[in-house]
Amino acid sequence: MKNYKLLTPGPLTTTETVKKEMMFDHCTWDDDYKKITLSIIDDLLELAHVDKEKYTAILMQGSGTFGVESVLTSVIGEDDCLLICANGAYGKRMAEIAQHAKITYKMYLQDFDKISDAKVVEELLQENPQITHVSIVHSETTSGILNDIEAVAKVVKAYGKTLIVDAMSSFGGVDIEVEKLGIDFIISSANKCIQGVPGFSFIICNREKLMQSKGKARSLSLDLYEQWETMSKDGKWRFTSPTHVVLAFAQAIKELKAEGGIVARNKRYSENNRILIEEMAKLGIKPYIESTHQGPIITTFYYPENSNFDFAEMYQYIKDRGYAIYPGKVTDAQTFRIGTIGEIYPEDMYKLSSIMTDFLNSKK
């Protein structure tokens, strides 16, 4: 089988040492294993810059969406109303979750190439006093745009509402002062910037808000409070734990620390991103998001202005030479995406650029 590196924003390319951890079939009720879960929780709280008395972390089986669904369906009660700030597919997915769970919600839908505007959030909160919770995506992986969660958090806190942030593709790659911003629930998953493998999501929660959610969950397996109740005692998971994924994740956290923490990782990702955009510009390929709001995680590019450009053909050409890229996901333009997270370095960006140069030259 031919190997390739992933330039997709999760699952992403992990290190050999992270993958190697999965060669052991760990017992789930064993104390050593439960300690690993507890130490992951501790590490996550540190990465989020929160006081452990005020915040707690919960691991939840499944992909990232399971984590988002767990929060929305567990903490928003029957008399509550959620304001969803959406400027991409992941924001819209929150509305789908709300529909399925019959959660009352209001949608603030922004163009995919613009950030959610804190002023509009404020107007909506003024006009709709029934709103109790506000949710927003930090790094909208649909386009690569980085929303200004600081500005939105300020407004949401000024109005005394509960703030839920989907930081799936940014947590661990962009430093987030969770407590300082007043974020009540922040969600990410194992296979994004911490650089683990897929299998669980994690949620950092304001303890007081979590306690208030007791008994509100609409789902048994995604009940956030119940998951915490069991896990916080001694690190035992409520239902079968993804043991191999947990071991890999513990190793991935060690490697994040060894790299120099989130600040160092952010620097590497940003450098990857900067080089990528610079190299693409040389090929006449332009980013979809303006540089002021472009995040370091993933970049959406317009198709090159060449009438016979075929994405599927370029994808195959690049894959045969060692990299997998991503098709576009915005609805209003012909685009493709390149992720810059995972075990990826500037040299990979230069290699990719050279492969794409060869491809485009072969089409002339």
Ligand X SMILES: *Cc1c(COP(=O)(O)O)cnc(C)c1O
Point out which residues bind ligand X (CB under 6 A): 9-10, 63-65, 90, 137, 141, 166, 168-169, 189
Q: Which is nearer to ligand X, 97 or 125 (CB)?
A: 97
Q: Which is nearer to ligand X, 69 or 117 (CB)?
A: 69
Compute the residue count for the chain: 364
**Least separation in angstroms between CB 355 and ligand X:** 25
**Least separation in angstroms between CB 41 and ligand X:** 20
Residue 10: helix, strand or coil by DSSP?
coil
Instruction: Collect all residues with Cβ–Cβ distance below 8 Å to 364 and sequence separation of at least 6.
Output: none
**Least separation in angstroms between CB 4 and ligand X:** 20
- DSSP, res 102: T
**Least separation in angstroms between CB 138 and ligand X:** 7
Q: Which is nearer to ligand X, 189 or 213 (CB)?
A: 189
**Least separation in angstroms between CB 188 and ligand X:** 9
DSSP letters for 273-320: HHHHHHHHHHTT--BSS-TTTB-SSEEEEEPPS-TT--HHHHHHHHHH
* Helices vs strands, H then E, count in the chain: 13, 14
Q: Which is nearer to ligand X, 34 or 93 (CB)?
A: 93
Q: Which is nearer to ligand X, 14 or 63 (CB)?
A: 63
Q: Which is nearer to ligand X, 137 or 276 (CB)?
A: 137
Phi and psi of 162, rounded to 5°? -85, 130
Q: Which is nearer to ligand X, 91 or 235 (CB)?
A: 91
Q: Which is nearer to ligand X, 137 or 355 (CB)?
A: 137
Q: Which is nearer to ligand X, 63 or 135 (CB)?
A: 63
Q: Which ranges of 22-168 would DSSP assign to H, the alpha helix?
A: 31-47, 64-75, 89-101, 118-127, 149-158
**Least separation in angstroms between CB 256 and ligand X:** 18
Which H/E stretch holds residue 259?
helix 243-259
- DSSP, res 17: H
Torsion of CA 56, 152, 145, 327, to 10 degrees: 60
**Least separation in angstroms between CB 66 and ligand X:** 7
d(CA 217, CA 242): 23
**Least separation in angstroms between CB 281 and ligand X:** 25
Q: How many other C-beta atoms lie within 10 A of the C-beta of residue 339? A: 27
**Least separation in angstroms between CB 193 and ligand X:** 10
The answer to whether residues 166 and 160 touch, using CB atoms and an 8 Å cutoff, is no
Phi and psi of 60, rounded to 5°? -130, 130
Distance of CA 124 to the CA centre of its chain: 26
Torsion of CA 225, 101, 91, 269, to 10 degrees: 40
Q: What are the respective helix, strand and coil percentages of the chain, to the nearest 5? A: 45, 15, 40
Q: How many other C-beta atoms lie within 10 A of the C-beta of residue 120? A: 14
**Least separation in angstroms between CB 169 and ligand X:** 4
Q: Which is nearer to ligand X, 141 or 227 (CB)?
A: 141
Chain residue at closest Cβ approach to ligand X: 64
